[in-house]
A = this chain, B = another copy of it.
Amino acid sequence: MISEKMKPFVQNNSAIRAMFEEGNKLRAKYGADKVFDFSLGNPNVPAPECVKEAIIDLVTNEDPVLLHGYMSNAGFEDVRESIAQSLNRRFGTKFAAKNLIMTVGAASGLNVILKTILNPGEEVIVFAPYFLEYGSYVRNYDGVLVEVTPDTTTFQPNLKEFEEKITAKTRAVIVNTPHNPTGVVYSEETIKSIAAIMEKKQKEFDNVIYLISDEPYRELVYDGAVVPYLTKYYDNTVVGYSYSKSLSLPGERIGYLVIPDEVDNSAEVIGAAAIANRINGSVNAPSLIQKVIGRCVDAEVDIAYYDRNRKTLYEGLTECGFTCVKPEGAFYLFVKSPVENEKEFCEAAKKYNILMVPGSSFACPGYVRLAYCVSYENIVNSMASFKELAKEYF
Protein backbone atom coordinates (compact mmCIF):
# COMPACT_ATOMS: atom_id res chain seq x y z
CA MET A 1 0.00 0.00 0.00
CA ILE A 2 2.97 2.29 0.41
CA SER A 3 4.85 3.96 -2.42
CA GLU A 4 7.74 2.15 -4.12
CA LYS A 5 10.13 4.91 -3.07
CA MET A 6 9.23 4.50 0.62
CA LYS A 7 9.81 0.74 0.68
CA PRO A 8 13.62 0.74 1.06
CA PHE A 9 13.31 3.40 3.79
CA VAL A 10 10.94 1.15 5.70
CA GLN A 11 13.28 -1.85 5.34
CA ASN A 12 16.34 0.09 6.49
CA ASN A 13 14.48 1.43 9.48
CA SER A 14 14.04 -1.90 11.23
CA ALA A 15 17.64 -2.16 12.54
CA ILE A 16 17.46 1.20 14.33
CA ARG A 17 14.01 0.44 15.70
CA ALA A 18 15.30 -2.94 16.98
CA MET A 19 18.03 -1.15 18.91
CA PHE A 20 15.53 1.22 20.50
CA GLU A 21 13.44 -1.72 21.64
CA GLU A 22 16.52 -3.62 22.85
CA GLY A 23 17.35 -0.69 25.17
CA ASN A 24 13.83 -0.52 26.54
CA LYS A 25 13.78 -4.30 27.10
CA LEU A 26 17.08 -4.21 28.99
CA ARG A 27 16.00 -1.22 31.11
CA ALA A 28 12.74 -2.97 32.03
CA LYS A 29 14.64 -6.13 32.99
CA TYR A 30 17.67 -4.74 34.85
CA GLY A 31 16.71 -1.15 35.79
CA ALA A 32 17.76 2.03 33.98
CA ASP A 33 20.95 2.54 36.05
CA LYS A 34 22.22 -0.96 35.20
CA VAL A 35 21.95 -0.38 31.44
CA PHE A 36 24.69 1.53 29.59
CA ASP A 37 22.93 2.84 26.54
CA PHE A 38 25.37 4.77 24.34
CA SER A 39 23.20 4.42 21.26
CA LEU A 40 21.31 7.72 21.15
CA GLY A 41 22.43 11.27 20.33
CA ASN A 42 19.75 12.83 22.55
CA PRO A 43 21.37 15.54 24.75
CA ASN A 44 21.09 14.90 28.50
CA VAL A 45 22.33 18.35 29.56
CA PRO A 46 19.32 20.66 30.09
CA ALA A 47 18.64 23.75 27.97
CA PRO A 48 20.15 26.91 29.50
CA GLU A 49 17.96 28.79 32.00
CA CYS A 50 17.55 31.64 29.51
CA VAL A 51 15.33 29.41 27.35
CA LYS A 52 12.83 28.95 30.17
CA GLU A 53 12.95 32.63 31.10
CA ALA A 54 12.42 33.71 27.50
CA ILE A 55 9.45 31.36 27.05
CA ILE A 56 7.70 32.62 30.19
CA ASP A 57 8.38 36.26 29.37
CA LEU A 58 7.19 35.90 25.78
CA VAL A 59 3.90 34.17 26.58
CA THR A 60 3.28 36.58 29.45
CA ASN A 61 4.03 39.84 27.68
CA GLU A 62 3.71 39.39 23.92
CA ASP A 63 0.54 39.50 21.82
CA PRO A 64 -0.39 35.82 21.30
CA VAL A 65 -1.73 36.58 17.82
CA LEU A 66 1.76 37.68 16.74
CA LEU A 67 3.70 35.23 18.92
CA HIS A 68 1.89 32.15 17.58
CA GLY A 69 0.99 33.58 14.17
CA TYR A 70 2.25 33.15 10.65
CA MET A 71 5.22 35.21 9.59
CA SER A 72 7.34 35.26 6.41
CA ASN A 73 8.23 31.71 5.29
CA ALA A 74 11.86 32.61 6.02
CA GLY A 75 11.06 33.35 9.69
CA PHE A 76 10.79 36.43 11.90
CA GLU A 77 12.95 39.24 10.55
CA ASP A 78 14.16 40.35 14.02
CA VAL A 79 15.21 36.81 14.97
CA ARG A 80 17.14 36.34 11.73
CA GLU A 81 18.82 39.71 12.26
CA SER A 82 19.88 38.74 15.82
CA ILE A 83 21.37 35.47 14.60
CA ALA A 84 23.15 37.18 11.71
CA GLN A 85 24.69 39.72 14.10
CA SER A 86 25.77 36.96 16.49
CA LEU A 87 27.47 35.05 13.65
CA ASN A 88 29.14 38.25 12.44
CA ARG A 89 30.47 38.99 15.96
CA ARG A 90 31.77 35.47 16.47
CA PHE A 91 33.11 34.58 13.04
CA GLY A 92 33.79 37.87 11.28
CA THR A 93 31.16 37.16 8.63
CA LYS A 94 28.92 39.80 7.02
CA PHE A 95 25.45 38.26 7.07
CA ALA A 96 22.15 40.14 7.21
CA ALA A 97 18.67 38.87 8.06
CA LYS A 98 18.02 38.17 4.39
CA ASN A 99 20.81 35.56 4.31
CA LEU A 100 19.04 33.40 6.91
CA ILE A 101 16.04 31.10 6.60
CA MET A 102 14.71 29.67 9.85
CA THR A 103 14.04 25.93 9.46
CA VAL A 104 12.46 23.00 11.30
CA GLY A 105 15.88 21.88 12.59
CA ALA A 106 18.93 21.14 10.46
CA ALA A 107 17.33 18.00 8.99
CA SER A 108 14.63 20.13 7.44
CA GLY A 109 17.18 22.78 6.47
CA LEU A 110 19.21 20.20 4.55
CA ASN A 111 16.03 19.04 2.84
CA VAL A 112 15.13 22.62 1.93
CA ILE A 113 18.48 23.38 0.32
CA LEU A 114 18.61 20.01 -1.49
CA LYS A 115 15.06 20.54 -2.81
CA THR A 116 16.14 23.99 -3.95
CA ILE A 117 19.23 22.96 -5.92
CA LEU A 118 19.14 19.27 -6.77
CA ASN A 119 17.91 17.79 -10.06
CA PRO A 120 17.16 14.07 -10.44
CA GLY A 121 20.32 12.08 -11.14
CA GLU A 122 22.68 14.77 -9.85
CA GLU A 123 25.29 13.68 -7.35
CA VAL A 124 25.93 14.70 -3.75
CA ILE A 125 29.27 13.71 -2.23
CA VAL A 126 29.63 12.70 1.43
CA PHE A 127 32.66 11.55 3.40
CA ALA A 128 32.34 8.21 5.19
CA PRO A 129 31.67 7.73 8.01
CA TYR A 130 28.57 9.88 7.73
CA PHE A 131 25.04 10.26 9.13
CA LEU A 132 23.07 7.80 6.97
CA GLU A 133 20.04 10.12 6.80
CA TYR A 134 22.00 12.21 4.28
CA GLY A 135 21.22 9.39 1.88
CA SER A 136 17.49 9.68 2.62
CA TYR A 137 17.56 13.44 2.11
CA VAL A 138 19.37 13.15 -1.22
CA ARG A 139 17.04 10.37 -2.42
CA ASN A 140 14.02 12.52 -1.47
CA TYR A 141 14.91 14.61 -4.54
CA ASP A 142 16.04 11.67 -6.69
CA GLY A 143 19.69 12.63 -6.31
CA VAL A 144 22.53 10.13 -6.12
CA LEU A 145 24.69 9.86 -3.01
CA VAL A 146 28.39 9.36 -3.70
CA GLU A 147 30.56 8.16 -0.80
CA VAL A 148 34.22 8.94 -0.28
CA THR A 149 35.81 6.08 1.69
CA PRO A 150 37.13 6.90 5.16
CA ASP A 151 40.68 7.64 6.18
CA THR A 152 40.58 5.58 9.37
CA THR A 153 43.88 6.96 10.66
CA THR A 154 42.74 10.54 11.23
CA PHE A 155 39.10 10.53 10.06
CA GLN A 156 39.90 13.72 8.19
CA PRO A 157 38.43 13.46 4.67
CA ASN A 158 40.23 11.45 2.00
CA LEU A 159 41.00 14.34 -0.36
CA LYS A 160 42.57 12.38 -3.20
CA GLU A 161 39.52 10.19 -3.60
CA PHE A 162 37.27 13.24 -3.13
CA GLU A 163 38.84 14.99 -6.09
CA GLU A 164 38.51 11.86 -8.23
CA LYS A 165 34.84 11.47 -7.43
CA ILE A 166 33.75 14.97 -8.47
CA THR A 167 32.10 14.70 -11.89
CA ALA A 168 30.06 16.92 -14.21
CA LYS A 169 27.02 15.63 -12.31
CA THR A 170 28.27 16.72 -8.87
CA ARG A 171 25.87 19.31 -7.50
CA ALA A 172 26.84 19.43 -3.82
CA VAL A 173 29.22 18.18 -1.14
CA ILE A 174 28.03 17.71 2.44
CA VAL A 175 30.50 18.13 5.30
CA ASN A 176 29.83 17.82 9.02
CA THR A 177 32.29 19.32 11.45
CA PRO A 178 32.49 18.72 14.41
CA HIS A 179 31.71 15.29 13.13
CA ASN A 180 29.14 12.63 13.87
CA PRO A 181 30.14 9.81 14.51
CA THR A 182 33.89 10.46 15.05
CA GLY A 183 33.99 13.72 17.03
CA VAL A 184 36.72 14.94 14.67
CA VAL A 185 36.94 18.67 13.83
CA TYR A 186 38.08 19.39 10.27
CA SER A 187 41.26 21.45 10.41
CA GLU A 188 41.59 24.78 8.59
CA GLU A 189 44.08 23.05 6.29
CA THR A 190 41.47 20.43 5.40
CA ILE A 191 38.84 23.10 4.72
CA LYS A 192 41.24 25.03 2.51
CA SER A 193 42.08 21.88 0.56
CA ILE A 194 38.39 21.01 0.08
CA ALA A 195 37.71 24.57 -1.10
CA ALA A 196 40.67 24.53 -3.54
CA ILE A 197 39.56 21.20 -5.06
CA MET A 198 35.99 22.44 -5.42
CA GLU A 199 37.06 25.76 -7.01
CA LYS A 200 39.14 23.84 -9.52
CA LYS A 201 36.33 21.44 -10.34
CA GLN A 202 33.75 24.23 -10.67
CA LYS A 203 35.96 25.77 -13.35
CA GLU A 204 36.67 22.43 -15.00
CA PHE A 205 32.98 21.58 -15.32
CA ASP A 206 31.72 25.18 -15.62
CA ASN A 207 29.14 24.37 -12.97
CA VAL A 208 28.19 25.50 -9.49
CA ILE A 209 29.07 22.94 -6.82
CA TYR A 210 27.60 23.76 -3.41
CA LEU A 211 29.43 23.02 -0.18
CA ILE A 212 26.73 22.24 2.39
CA SER A 213 28.01 22.51 5.95
CA ASP A 214 25.84 20.56 8.41
CA GLU A 215 26.95 21.92 11.75
CA PRO A 216 24.71 21.14 14.72
CA TYR A 217 27.83 20.49 16.82
CA ARG A 218 29.62 23.78 16.08
CA GLU A 219 29.59 24.93 19.73
CA LEU A 220 30.38 21.51 21.24
CA VAL A 221 34.18 21.59 21.12
CA TYR A 222 36.87 20.82 23.69
CA ASP A 223 40.51 21.65 24.44
CA GLY A 224 40.12 24.99 22.67
CA ALA A 225 39.49 23.41 19.26
CA VAL A 226 38.61 25.95 16.56
CA VAL A 227 35.90 25.21 13.99
CA PRO A 228 36.56 27.31 10.87
CA TYR A 229 33.45 29.05 9.47
CA LEU A 230 33.18 27.53 6.01
CA THR A 231 31.56 30.43 4.13
CA LYS A 232 34.87 32.28 4.52
CA TYR A 233 36.78 29.67 2.51
CA TYR A 234 34.45 28.89 -0.39
CA ASP A 235 31.84 31.17 -1.95
CA ASN A 236 29.17 28.60 -2.82
CA THR A 237 28.80 27.45 0.79
CA VAL A 238 25.42 26.98 2.46
CA VAL A 239 25.33 26.40 6.23
CA GLY A 240 22.69 24.19 7.87
CA TYR A 241 22.50 24.81 11.60
CA SER A 242 20.43 23.40 14.44
CA TYR A 243 19.93 24.36 18.10
CA SER A 244 19.27 20.70 18.94
CA LYS A 245 22.65 20.21 20.55
CA SER A 246 23.93 23.73 21.27
CA LEU A 247 20.82 24.63 23.32
CA SER A 248 19.59 21.06 23.99
CA LEU A 249 16.35 21.59 22.07
CA PRO A 250 16.27 18.62 19.67
CA GLY A 251 12.53 18.01 20.00
CA GLU A 252 11.70 21.66 19.25
CA ARG A 253 12.95 21.42 15.67
CA ILE A 254 14.63 24.77 15.31
CA GLY A 255 17.56 25.71 13.14
CA TYR A 256 18.44 27.80 10.11
CA LEU A 257 20.10 27.90 6.73
CA VAL A 258 22.67 30.56 5.88
CA ILE A 259 22.86 31.42 2.18
CA PRO A 260 25.55 34.11 1.91
CA ASP A 261 25.60 36.88 -0.72
CA GLU A 262 28.72 35.21 -2.14
CA VAL A 263 26.66 32.24 -3.36
CA ASP A 264 26.16 32.42 -7.12
CA ASN A 265 22.79 34.10 -7.82
CA SER A 266 22.20 34.23 -4.07
CA ALA A 267 18.93 36.21 -4.24
CA GLU A 268 17.38 33.58 -6.49
CA VAL A 269 18.60 30.72 -4.29
CA ILE A 270 17.37 32.47 -1.10
CA GLY A 271 13.95 33.14 -2.65
CA ALA A 272 13.60 29.57 -3.88
CA ALA A 273 14.71 28.13 -0.53
CA ALA A 274 12.03 30.13 1.32
CA ILE A 275 9.44 28.70 -1.08
CA ALA A 276 10.85 25.19 -0.64
CA ASN A 277 10.48 25.70 3.13
CA ARG A 278 6.80 26.46 2.54
CA ILE A 279 5.86 23.79 0.03
CA ASN A 280 7.66 20.93 1.77
CA GLY A 281 4.97 21.48 4.42
CA SER A 282 7.02 23.26 7.08
CA VAL A 283 5.58 26.65 5.99
CA ASN A 284 7.83 28.26 8.62
CA ALA A 285 9.93 27.21 11.63
CA PRO A 286 7.88 27.06 14.88
CA SER A 287 7.15 30.63 15.96
CA LEU A 288 7.49 30.77 19.77
CA ILE A 289 10.81 28.94 19.77
CA GLN A 290 12.06 31.23 16.97
CA LYS A 291 11.45 34.18 19.29
CA VAL A 292 13.19 32.30 22.15
CA ILE A 293 16.26 31.81 19.95
CA GLY A 294 16.24 35.55 19.22
CA ARG A 295 16.66 36.16 22.94
CA CYS A 296 19.14 33.33 23.65
CA VAL A 297 21.32 33.73 20.61
CA ASP A 298 24.57 33.63 22.55
CA ALA A 299 23.50 31.20 25.29
CA GLU A 300 25.35 27.92 25.87
CA VAL A 301 24.68 24.59 27.49
CA ASP A 302 27.08 23.18 30.10
CA ILE A 303 29.76 21.94 27.72
CA ALA A 304 32.03 21.09 30.67
CA TYR A 305 29.61 18.27 31.50
CA TYR A 306 30.13 16.68 28.09
CA ASP A 307 33.87 17.30 28.34
CA ARG A 308 34.11 15.37 31.62
CA ASN A 309 32.13 12.54 30.03
CA ARG A 310 34.41 12.61 27.02
CA LYS A 311 37.60 12.37 29.06
CA THR A 312 36.25 9.73 31.41
CA LEU A 313 34.96 7.47 28.65
CA TYR A 314 37.98 7.98 26.38
CA GLU A 315 40.48 7.30 29.15
CA GLY A 316 38.48 4.38 30.52
CA LEU A 317 38.18 2.68 27.15
CA THR A 318 41.80 3.30 26.22
CA GLU A 319 42.93 1.79 29.53
CA CYS A 320 40.84 -1.30 28.73
CA GLY A 321 42.78 -1.68 25.49
CA PHE A 322 40.27 -0.21 23.03
CA THR A 323 41.47 2.32 20.48
CA CYS A 324 39.80 5.42 19.06
CA VAL A 325 40.60 8.90 17.79
CA LYS A 326 40.30 11.32 20.72
CA PRO A 327 37.31 13.48 19.80
CA GLU A 328 37.69 17.25 19.73
CA GLY A 329 34.00 17.95 19.34
CA ALA A 330 30.38 16.67 19.34
CA PHE A 331 29.54 13.97 21.90
CA TYR A 332 30.61 10.73 20.24
CA LEU A 333 33.51 8.28 20.45
CA PHE A 334 34.20 6.18 17.36
CA VAL A 335 35.93 3.09 18.68
CA LYS A 336 37.73 0.44 16.61
CA SER A 337 36.04 -2.90 16.94
CA PRO A 338 38.43 -5.55 18.28
CA VAL A 339 36.91 -7.99 15.76
CA GLU A 340 36.43 -7.37 12.05
CA ASN A 341 32.64 -7.65 12.13
CA GLU A 342 31.67 -4.90 14.55
CA LYS A 343 28.12 -6.21 14.78
CA GLU A 344 29.51 -9.23 16.65
CA PHE A 345 31.25 -6.80 19.01
CA CYS A 346 27.95 -4.94 19.58
CA GLU A 347 26.22 -8.25 20.31
CA ALA A 348 28.95 -9.22 22.79
CA ALA A 349 28.60 -5.84 24.53
CA LYS A 350 24.88 -6.42 25.03
CA LYS A 351 25.72 -9.28 27.40
CA TYR A 352 27.12 -6.55 29.69
CA ASN A 353 24.11 -4.28 29.07
CA ILE A 354 26.24 -1.98 26.89
CA LEU A 355 24.50 -0.61 23.78
CA MET A 356 26.51 0.89 20.93
CA VAL A 357 25.76 1.60 17.25
CA PRO A 358 27.65 -0.44 14.63
CA GLY A 359 29.83 1.63 12.29
CA SER A 360 27.98 0.11 9.31
CA SER A 361 25.15 2.46 10.28
CA PHE A 362 27.56 5.24 9.28
CA ALA A 363 29.00 3.48 6.21
CA CYS A 364 32.14 2.58 8.18
CA PRO A 365 32.16 -1.04 9.32
CA GLY A 366 34.79 -2.23 11.79
CA TYR A 367 33.98 0.60 14.22
CA VAL A 368 31.28 1.37 16.78
CA ARG A 369 29.79 4.69 17.88
CA LEU A 370 29.29 5.56 21.53
CA ALA A 371 27.20 8.65 22.29
CA TYR A 372 28.40 10.07 25.62
CA CYS A 373 25.51 12.50 26.09
CA VAL A 374 24.46 10.37 29.07
CA SER A 375 24.84 10.97 32.80
CA TYR A 376 28.37 11.05 34.20
CA GLU A 377 27.38 8.43 36.77
CA ASN A 378 26.27 6.13 33.97
CA ILE A 379 29.72 6.40 32.38
CA VAL A 380 31.52 5.79 35.66
CA ASN A 381 29.29 2.80 36.38
CA SER A 382 29.82 1.36 32.90
CA MET A 383 33.57 0.97 33.39
CA ALA A 384 33.41 -2.35 35.20
CA SER A 385 31.30 -3.73 32.34
CA PHE A 386 33.71 -2.42 29.71
CA LYS A 387 36.57 -4.12 31.59
CA GLU A 388 34.72 -7.43 31.48
CA LEU A 389 33.98 -6.92 27.80
CA ALA A 390 37.64 -6.11 27.09
CA LYS A 391 38.75 -9.40 28.67
CA GLU A 392 37.06 -11.21 25.80
CA TYR A 393 39.49 -9.59 23.35
CA PHE A 394 42.76 -8.48 24.97
The residues of A with any CB-CB pair to B shorter than 8 Å are 1-6, 9-10, 13, 40, 42-47, 51-52, 55-56, 59-60, 63-65, 67-71, 103-105, 107-112, 115-119, 133, 136-137, 140-141, 208, 248-254, 263-265, 268-269, 271-272, 275-276, 278-289
Contact = CB atoms under 8 A, between A and B. Distances in A.
Closest 9 CB pairs of A and B: A251-B287, A108-B281, A111-B281, A136-B279, A107-B281, A2-B272, A46-B64, A1-B265, A286-B286
7 contacts: A3-B117, A6-B116, A6-B275, A9-B276, A108-B282, A109-B281, A253-B282
A137 B115 CA distance: 13
* Residue of A67, A103, A288 with most chain B CB atoms under a 10 A cut-off: A288
A239 to B, nearest CB: 16
A2 B117 contact: yes
Nearest to A373: B65
Contacts of A281: 103-105, 107-112, 137, 280, 282
* Residue of A47, A251, A268, A280 with most chain B CB atoms under a 10 A cut-off: A251
Contact of A69 (B43, B276, B279): B43
Given A2-B116, A104-B104, A105-B283, A64 B51 contact: yes
Given A3-B115, A42-B69, A68-B250, 13 more contacts: A1-B269, A2-B268, A3-B116, A10-B268, A47-B68, A71-B251, A103-B281, A136-B279, A137-B279, A140-B279, A250-B283, A252-B286, A286-B289
A6 B5 CA distance: 20
A232 B125 CA distance: 48
Given A116-B3, A140-B280, A59 B68 contact: no
A215 to B, nearest CB: 16
A372 to B, nearest CB: 15
A249 to B, nearest CB: 5
A251 B286 contact: yes
A71 B20 CA distance: 11
A376 to B, nearest CB: 14
Given A9-B279, A55-B55, A140-B279, A264 B1 contact: yes
Given A108-B281, A281-B110, A252 B68 contact: yes
B208 A119 contact: no
